[in-house]
């Protein structure tokens, strides 16, 4: 149910809602989400060390369909906000992932050509975003996305664990694995 943005989440959770009732339901969800988004959210084991190593080598960004202010709140609440130079949310532009304009905006703000900016993602939307922008993509097999073997075949690399992701990025091995508490 999670992973395709707030509108799809609310539509899936409440299929009986008509288009007129949708905006109020989305607003109610966002209010509740903002209150509790850090209650159970934790970084995947090993991710903090991987981000620290990556941030020493490259500028980092977050590209999400989550509203930008909520993405920033989650990053700050987890103590990760300082790792990222750019945060682009689903409301930062008139379009959202998988529109390549989202990743091209990240590339522009980081001053890195999209072709040299790997997107690490867990969903078909992430893979499509990278492909559309001409960027390499590393698919991770944990997270909310459910990637098929066919999806994975279209990635430039596939990481089944945090140490595999570190290796694909050319970073020192990071302890931990892909499991974490569910959250926002």
CATH number at residue 87: 3.40.50.1000
Residues 122 and 148 in one domain: yes
Considering the domain boundaries, does residue 182 fall inside one? no
Say whether both 25 and 95 belong to one domain: no
> Is residue 134 situated within a structural domain?
yes
Q: What is the mean pLDDT of the chain?
A: 90
Same domain, 124 and 163: yes
Report CA 144 to chain centroid distance, whole Å: 10
* Residues 22-46: tens digit of each pLDDT: 999 999 988 898 888 899 899 999 9
pTM for the model: 0.86
Phi/psi of residue 36, each to 5°?
-120, 10
Q: Is residue 151 located within the same domain as residue 132?
A: yes
| C-alpha distances out from residue 122 to 82, 141, 171, Å | 23, 6, 19
Q: Which residues contact 18 (CB under 8 A, 6 or more apart)?
A: none
Whether 169 shows a pLDDT value over 70: the answer reads yes
**Which tens digit of pLDDT belongs to each residue from 137-151?**
999 999 887 899 999
The parent domain of residue 93 ranges over 47-169
Same domain as 58, residue 144? yes
Give me the sign of the Cα torsion angle 14, 15, 18, 19: positive
Whether residue 79 is found in the same domain as residue 128: yes
Do 93 and 143 fall into the same domain? Answer: yes
Give yes or no: residues 61 and 25 share one domain.
no
Domain count, the chain: 2
């Amino acid at each position: 149910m999670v992973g395709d943005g707030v509108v799809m989440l609310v539509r899936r959770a409440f299929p009986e809602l008509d288009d007129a009732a949708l905006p109020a339901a989305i607003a109610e969800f966002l209010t509740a989400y903002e209150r509790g988004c850090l209650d159970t959210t934790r970084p995947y084991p090993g991710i903090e060390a991987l981000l620290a190593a990556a941030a020493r080598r490259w500028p980092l960004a977050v590209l999400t369909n989550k509203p930008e202010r909520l993405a920033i709140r989650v990053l700050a609440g987890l103590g990760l906000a300082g790792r990222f130079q750019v945060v682009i949310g689903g409301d930062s532009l008139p379009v959202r992932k998988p529109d390549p304009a989202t990743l091209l905006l990240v590339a522009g703000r980081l001053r890195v050509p999209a072709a040299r900016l790997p997107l690490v993602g867990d969903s078909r939307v992430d893979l499509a975003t990278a492909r559309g922008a001409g960027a390499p993509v590393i698919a991770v097999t944990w997270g909310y996305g459910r990637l098929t073997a066919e999806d994975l075949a279209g990635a430039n690399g596939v990481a089944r664990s945090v140490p595999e992701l570190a290796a694909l990025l050319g970073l020192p091995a990071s302890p931990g694995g892909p499991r974490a508490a569910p959250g926002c």
